Amino acid sequence: MSKEKFDQKLIKLLESNPDFVDEAGVLHRANVRERARKLDSNLIKLLLTDQEVETKFFKEIANEY
C-alpha cells in the first residue's frame, strides 16, 4: 500500500472516533499525538482494529501484537 493510501486509511480510522475530531468533524492531530504519547488505551484499541494499521504501528512478539 502506498504511503498516501495508508495515510488516508489511518485518517479515516482516526476520524471514526469522536474523541479525535473537532466540532466540524476534522481530525484533531494534536489530540491524537498527545494520546499517543500517553499510550492511551482507546487509541491503541482503535489502531488494533485494522490489520494494516496494526502491522505498521505494533511489533509482533511471540505471535502477539
Give tens-digit pLDDT for 10-59.
Answer: 999 999 999 999 999 999 999 999 999 999 999 999 999 999 999 998 88
pLDDT at residue 24, rounded to an integer: 92
Domain boundaries, the chain: 3-57
| Residue 65: per-residue pLDDT | 60
Q: Check pLDDT > 90 for residue 62.
A: no
Q: What is the pLDDT of residue 48?
A: 94
pLDDT value at position 30?
Answer: 95
Q: Are 26 and 18 in contact (CB under 8 A)?
A: no
Angstrom distances, CA of residue 7 to CA of 2, 27, 35, 63:
9, 12, 18, 26
pTM of the model as a whole: 0.83
